């Protein structure tokens, strides 16, 4: 399999090439030079590679539970010594859970939640298969790995972000910034919506630093920054 990410980013000056408003550039001045970064929903490693290049002195822990996609993630990040890969998903319980695997137009919409409006709004993406994957609670993982703090979280968990964070309140107290995908409609059954996510994060001591929503889009991203 062609290692397209490494080919694309070899000798790549990330600060110069990416748009000035790219979120990774913005956070680079707000985090330490050697941050501990947690990425949940690593997929094939596109964001992982960018983060590894942008923070060469940092440590990136990236999680991708789908076996076939995790293999691509391993391939695309194997040259980066500061990237640690985990074939697990964060959940509110540790063990084994069933994940709904996305196929078709996009293979990055797999979720521990059942699809709801997702199939209606994105008919080119199907969820005809579910597989069992390993899951772990965020606080339990941090304790096992002896990780005392996480500077930045990059969460793309298809509606499961807030559910996972609820099982990671201890380590979240050490976190400076969180960038996460947020839904405006119930794309997955029971997924928290934007107002729920913002309210919960405010209760944990965060404020909204910036929102990223395109016109007509039913999901987007929010960058949270700790204020207390």
Render pLDDT for 36-69 as a digit per residue (tens, 0 to 9).
999 999 999 999 999 999 999 999 999 999 999 9
Confidence of residue 97 (pLDDT cuts 50, 70, 90): very high
pLDDT given for residue 21 in this prediction:
54
Which residue did the predictor score with more confidence, 113 or 11? 113
* Tens-place pLDDT, residues 136-145: 999 999 999 9
* Tens-place pLDDT, residues 172-228: 999 999 999 999 999 999 999 999 999 999 999 999 999 999 888 899 999 999 998
CATH architecture of 4-92+138-226: 3-Layer(aba) Sandwich (3.40)
List the structure tokens of 54: 């942008």
- The dihedral through the CA atoms of 132, 85, 34, 140 has a sign that is positive
pLDDT given for residue 18 in this prediction:
46
pLDDT given for residue 13 in this prediction:
43
Q: Give the mean model confidence (pLDDT) for residues 149-178.
A: 97
pLDDT given for residue 26 in this prediction:
83
Q: Cα 140 vs. chain centroid, distance in angstroms?
A: 18
pLDDT given for residue 10 in this prediction:
41
Cα atoms in the Cβ-side hemisphere of radius 13 Å centred on 69: 24
pLDDT given for residue 23 in this prediction:
83
Instruction: Indicate the domain borders of the chain.
Output: 4-92+138-226
pLDDT given for residue 182 in this prediction:
97
pLDDT given for residue 215 in this prediction:
85
Cβ(227)–Cβ(192) below 8 Å: no
Is residue 79 predicted with pLDDT exceeding 60? yes
Is residue 4 predicted with pLDDT exceeding 50? no
For the ranges 18-32, 52-66, 68-82, the lowest mean pLDDT is seen at: 18-32
The pTM score is 0.90
Average pLDDT, the chain: 90
Is residue 166 predicted with pLDDT exceeding 60? yes
């Amino acid at each position: 399999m062609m290692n397209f990410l490494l080919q694309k980013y070899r000798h790549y000056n990330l600060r110069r090439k990416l748009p000035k408003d790219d979120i990774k550039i913005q956070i680079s001045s707000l985090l330490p030079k050697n941050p501990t970064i947690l990425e949940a929903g690593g997929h094939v490693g596109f964001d992982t590679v960018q983060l590894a290049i942008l923070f060469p002195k940092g440590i990136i822990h990236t999680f991708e539970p789908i076996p076939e996609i995790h293999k691509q993630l391993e391939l695309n990040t194997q040259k980066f010594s500061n990237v640690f890969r985990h074939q697990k998903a964060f959940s509110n319980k540790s063990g084994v859970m069933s994940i709904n695997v996305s196929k078709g137009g996009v293979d990055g919409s797999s979720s521990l939640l059942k699809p709801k409006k997702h199939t209606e709004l994105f008919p080119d993406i199907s969820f005809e298969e579910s597989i069992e994957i390993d899951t772990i609670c965020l606080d339990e993982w941090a304790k096992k790995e002896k990780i005392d703090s996480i500077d930045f979280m990059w969460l793309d968990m298809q509606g499961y972000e807030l559910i996972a964070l609820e099982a990671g309140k201890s380590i979240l107290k050490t976190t400076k910034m969180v960038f996460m995908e947020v839904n405006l409609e119930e794309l997955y059954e029971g997924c928290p919506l934007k107002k729920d996510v913002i309210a919960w994060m405010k209760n944990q001591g965060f404020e909204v630093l910036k929102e990223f929503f395109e016109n007509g889009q039913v999901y987007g991203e929010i960058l949270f920054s700790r204020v207390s």
